[in-house]
Amino acid sequence: MGIGESLAREFVAHAASVVLLSRDAARAEAARGRIGNGERTLALPCDVRRREQIDRVIALTLRRFHRIDVWINNAGHGLLDAIASVDMAACREMFESNLFGAIEAMQAVIPVMRQQGSGTIINISSVAGHIPLPFHATYSASKFALNAISKAARIELAPDKLHVMSVCPGYVRTSFRANAVKGKNAKGIGSPSQRGISAARVARATLAGYRRQAGEIVVPWYMHLPIKLYQCFPSVVEYAMGRMARSRS
């Protein structure tokens, strides 16, 4: 659903063969039905927290399509709470999906791409991986870490002619907040009426970035400004976020 389904739709529309993965097999199959092009799509159950399931879908993908040119790590969820009260079991569970599952998937698919002599890994991160958000700190931490993994892996894998790209969307109109795990202090810092961008826009930017082999995509483009502002003047951004957080209390 959300960004994942939009990515699948965009790549299929540009003649790619696509495998859709979800912990819920019925949900993946329903998305496949909405996308169409059944001869070029495959829906499989996969929980990225389980390495054996990742290995299974890679084997099935190779059996059906014979190669894997692009692997997209998009699985994950949010955790909204203050650091003082966040449940550590919920925090570890989120990192299993958002970060460790992505690393496991990369380790599983890299040998395939090395044997092919080419391939691209795309990690769907977030602007929150550049600017830590209050009451979303653990989620931001998982995305900061994913950005670091992507940048380091891009250098490590370049000699093998493999590419790693990270995608950092701003606020996207999906069910992210509704599906996030909410703790005792699940506050937000944006306006409840914040519109955000569509998942389809993220998908288009991702495909365009893949085609030009970009290292990182920030979408919408104007989110580069707050990222750069935070890098240069963190206290200014932190003051503004503090005021927004207080206004939502």
In contact, 108 and 152? CB cutoff 8 Å: no
pLDDT band at residue 243 using 50, 70 and 90 as cut-offs:
confident
Please tell me the predicted confidence (pLDDT) of residue 179. 72
pLDDT above 70: percentage of residues in the chain: 94
Asked if 230 is an active-site residue, the reply is no
Indicate the range of 114-118, 138-142, 185-189, 234-238 predicted with least confidence.
185-189
Which among 201, 175, 208, 219 is positioned nearest to 1, based on CA atoms?
175
Q: What's this model's pTM, rounded to 2 decimal places?
A: 0.92
Question: How many CB atoms are located within 10 Å of the residue 91 CB?
Answer: 20
Place of tokens 């699940």: 186
Which one of 139, 171, 210, 230 is the catalytic residue? 139
- Rounded CA-CA distance 11/237 in Å is 36
Q: Which domain holds residue 180?
A: 2-247
Domains: count for the chain: 1
Q: What secondary structure, in 3-state letters, does the chain show? A: CHHHHHHHHHHHHCCCCEEEEECCHHHHHHHHHHHCCHHHEEEEECCCCCHHHHHHHHHHHHHHHCCCCEEEECCCCCEECCCCCCCHHHHHHHHHHHHHHHHHHHHHHHHHHHHHCCEEEEEECCHHHCCCCCCCHHHHHHHHHHHHHHHHHHHHHHHHCEEEEEEEECCECCCHHHHCEECCCCCCCCCCCCCCECHHHHHHHHHHHHHCCCCEEEECHHHHHHHHHHHHCHHHHHHHHHHHHHHCC
What's the average model confidence in pLDDT over 97-108? 97
Tens-place pLDDT, residues 110-166: 999 999 999 999 999 999 999 999 999 999 999 999 999 999 999 999 999 999 999
pLDDT tens digits for range 13-56: 999 999 999 999 999 999 999 998 889 999 999 999 999 999 99
- CATH number of the domain at 105, please: 3.40.50.720
Structural contact between residues 119 and 157, judged by C-beta atoms closer than 8 angstroms: no
Pairing of strands 41-45, 70-73: unpaired
